[in-house]
Amino acid sequence: MYKEKILNVLRSSCSGFVSGEELARTCGISRTMVWKHIKSLEREGFGIEAVPSRGYRITSAPDILRPEDVRRGLRTKIIGREIHLFHKIASTNTLAMEMAANGTPEGAVVIAEMQTGGKGRLGRTWISPQGNLYLSVVLRPNIPIHKAPLITLTGAVAVASAIRTMCGLEAGIKWPNDILISGKKVSGLLTEMSAEQDRIRHIVLGIGVDVNMEMGELPPDVRSLTTTLAAEAGAKINRTALLQQVLRDLERWYQKFLNNHADVLEEWKKLNMTVGNRITVSGAGEDLDGLAQGVDSDGRLIVRLEDGAIRTIAAGDVTIVKK
Amino acid sequence: MYKEKILNVLRSSCSGFVSGEELARTCGISRTMVWKHIKSLEREGFGIEAVPSRGYRITSAPDILRPEDVRRGLRTKIIGREIHLFHKIASTNTLAMEMAANGTPEGAVVIAEMQTGGKGRLGRTWISPQGNLYLSVVLRPNIPIHKAPLITLTGAVAVASAIRTMCGLEAGIKWPNDILISGKKVSGLLTEMSAEQDRIRHIVLGIGVDVNMEMGELPPDVRSLTTTLAAEAGAKINRTALLQQVLRDLERWYQKFLNNHADVLEEWKKLNMTVGNRITVSGAGEDLDGLAQGVDSDGRLIVRLEDGAIRTIAAGDVTIVKK
């Protein structure tokens, strides 16, 4: 608690320097305790300069996510009302699903610096080294089961918007759950749910964003299909600020979704890179080639085949055919 | 093992009597061991008569479900390939969902004599005293999420068919998940699932059938809306035989469903008591009055309102208005 307060005072100082005496007075603790907390912050990775007669100054912050930093200035009402941050866990989605089954409220967020068993769609692995964002959000929308895929679309709109806002990059959505920049994958979403026949109990929206990791962390075969925000922007990205923007945009679009699904679908259409393209779809029972014509009101992809027949696709892997 | 063998020999004897010597010889054990197993069967509730120079004879079987009895002559390939029978557990659905998440194969069945936390739709309670059937079946159909409600319809067709076959009663289906006889509820289904955005991981189809319980087991307010098979048939029902028929009919209709959904919908329409009636629907956002016109290809109820408008209902409580 005092450590956070010291950090806040140091961060909000105009000159940068704050004397040990002032820190001690502001926090109501001894100068020895101030010194101990400063050492503790250094151990967390903060660079702190100590100059006689001027005091302490932060010179660098570690690239780690801290719950206090995520909460500071977040200003959301639902998404992020609980933040559970871990250094390394198997899967944020798995933990969030367990927490949701045990009554964790809507908007709770599970975040990890690393995942040892990160999950992708269809039982695939999501490679999850340090430096990226891995988060899962508990949602309890009062919608019928067949509307559940729209939650994935809502999440994709929020993530693409946040990337555009924070990084100024042209992030687009590939149906149903990938975010691409320059044709390469930079983010993926995995929605999981527990449901009865006519009622969703809870949904967990999992979001992975490749932010600052070294490309060497990836196996060679996926490297050419993948990029990171840092690689695209040409500079390291502030993960805390990006995470906050994702949570804010998620709150905004989730609220819009609850009010009127059509608003989300409209934005999705603006951000998507699938509709209007020739595509191939695999894993949907039969492989298809055709023109992606749109999404229906349940979030399914409408494809016009060569012979003019229309197919509506609920699941599958889409490849956009280069023009 | 020897106990089961002794039971089988006694049951398949033409005269009814089998001498202790013959039982000992058939099983390859001593007559003392035969006697011990006979005592054990008596403790399980079997009535066994012992007549000098003739041998042992079964005079009555206890009204309990035994895994060996359920398996004997079942002749299904998938449904019932694993049978897990319990005297008393919280909820067969909850246990089956846990088992399914841990890899239990399709067709595994969890059965309980009693449930202490039996579950109904929408978080309601399913009162589960001794004397009825409570079972949950693990299914892993390769279908998109929006087709999941059809599993409930498939289960309803199977249960209604089994009741008609075994009890000769005019069981009908009230959309989406109740089986009625003479307008009173005799069975309900609760489908639960774990899914990703575009893939069902597993579904548990829970089936409760009110068979032989005393009506006094029910709270007064639901007694007038409920009946049991025994009350309708005027005699106790053999629960083991009924359970086997439910599993057989479930296998048959589930296979048909996987081959062609339309076959199940057609049979559902024959057995259903909702379509063609004036109904009220509550719990679907707004309350509706109208004529139930049919179900669509995803199992949703189509209702024509007074003003001619058509609504498609995914969830809700239906009341059939008396003509």
Report the SS3 class of residue B226. strand
Residue B323 pLDDT greater than 70, yes or no: no
* Contacts A145 to B, Cβ<8 Å: 145-146, 148-149, 314
Q: Which of A139, A198, A298, A300 to mutate to test the interface with B (most CBs of B within 10 A)?
A: A198
Of B293, B251, B240, residue with least CA distance to B75: B251
- H or E element that contains B289: strand B288-295
Which residue on chain B is closest to A202 by alpha carbon? B194
Q: What is the pLDDT of residues B158-172, one digit of tens each?
A: 999 999 999 999 999
**What local confidence, expressed as pLDDT, does residue A4 receive?**
85
**pLDDT-derived band at B33, boundaries 50, 70, 90:** very high
Residue B224 pLDDT greater than 80, yes or no: yes
**What local confidence, expressed as pLDDT, does residue A174 receive?**
95
CB contact under 8 A, B149 and A199: no
Which residue on chain B is closest to A142 by alpha carbon? B285
* Contacts A191 to B, Cβ<8 Å: 196-197
Answer whether B158's CB lies under 8 Å from B246's CB. yes
Q: Say if A195 is an interface residue toward chain B (CB within 8 Å).
A: yes
What would the mean pLDDT of B9-34 be, rounded to a whole number? 89
Q: Say if B91 is an interface residue toward chain A (CB within 8 Å).
A: no
**pLDDT-derived band at A284, boundaries 50, 70, 90:** low
**What local confidence, expressed as pLDDT, does residue B284 receive?**
66
Report the SS3 class of residue B231. helix
Structure tokens, A170: 């042209």
Contacts (Cβ under 8 Å, ≥6 apart) of A286: none
How many Cβ contacts (< 8 angstroms) between chains A and B? 86
CB contact under 8 A, A198 and B315: yes
* CA distance to A193, A254, B131, B195, B283, per residue, from A200 (Å): 7, 16, 32, 11, 14
Give ∠ CA B81-B83-B88 in degrees, rounded to 5.
Answer: 165
> What is the DSSP annotation of B14-58?
SSS-B-HHHHHHHHTS-HHHHHHHHHHHHHTT-EEEEETTTEEEE
Give the CA dihedral A17, A22, A27, A29, nearest 10 degrees: 120
**What local confidence, expressed as pLDDT, does residue B186 receive?**
97
Q: What are phi and psi of B275, to 5 degrees?
A: -65, 135
Residue A263 pLDDT greater than 90, yes or no: yes
Answer whether B79's CB lies under 8 Å from B251's CB. yes
Q: Which of A154, A174, A197 to mutate to test the interface with B (most CBs of B within 10 A)?
A: A197
Residue B322 pLDDT greater than 90, yes or no: no
Residue B278 pLDDT greater than 70, yes or no: yes
Q: What is the pLDDT of residues B105-134, one digit of tens each?
A: 999 999 999 999 999 887 889 999 999 999
Q: Of the candidates B145, B151, B177, which has its C-beta nearest A148's C-beta?
A: B145
* Residue-range domains of chain B with CATH: 2-60 (1.10.10.10), 67-271 (3.30.930.10), 278-320 (2.30.30.100)
Q: Say if B276 is an interface residue toward chain A (CB within 8 Å).
A: no
Q: What does pLDDT average to over chain B?
A: 92
Q: Say if B286 is an interface residue toward chain A (CB within 8 Å).
A: no
More confidently predicted of A182 and B16: A182
* Contacts B155 to A, Cβ<8 Å: none
Q: With pLDDT > 70 as the criterion, what percentage of chain A qualifies?
A: 99
**pLDDT-derived band at A292, boundaries 50, 70, 90:** very high
Q: Which of residues 17-76 of A touch B (CB under 8 A)?
A: none
* Contacts B152 to A, Cβ<8 Å: 197
**What local confidence, expressed as pLDDT, does residue B171 receive?**
97
Q: Of the candidates A177, A194, A198, which has its C-beta nearest B314's C-beta?
A: A198
More confidently predicted of A64 and A137: A137
Q: Say if B283 is an interface residue toward chain A (CB within 8 Å).
A: no
What would the mean pLDDT of B6-12 be, rounded to a whole number? 87
Q: Say if A298 is an interface residue toward chain B (CB within 8 Å).
A: yes
Q: What is the pLDDT of residues A57-107, one digit of tens each?
A: 988 888 889 998 999 999 999 999 999 999 999 999 999 999 999 999 999
> What is the DSSP annotation of A282-297?
ESSSS-EEEEEEEE-T
**What local confidence, expressed as pLDDT, does residue B277 receive?**
93
B194 CB burial (10 A radius; 0-12, 13-18, 19+): middle
Q: Which of residues 123-182 of B touch A (CB under 8 A)?
A: 144-146, 148-149, 151-152, 176-177
Of B319, B225, B236, residue with least CA distance to B279: B319
The beta-carbon contacts of A226-231 under 8 Å, at least 24 apart in sequence, are A226/A184, A226/A185, A226/A186, A227/A181, A227/A182, A227/A184, A227/A185, A227/A186, A228/A132, A228/A186, A229/A163, A229/A167, A229/A169, A229/A181, A229/A186
CB contact under 8 A, A145 and B144: no
First to last CA, chain B: 57
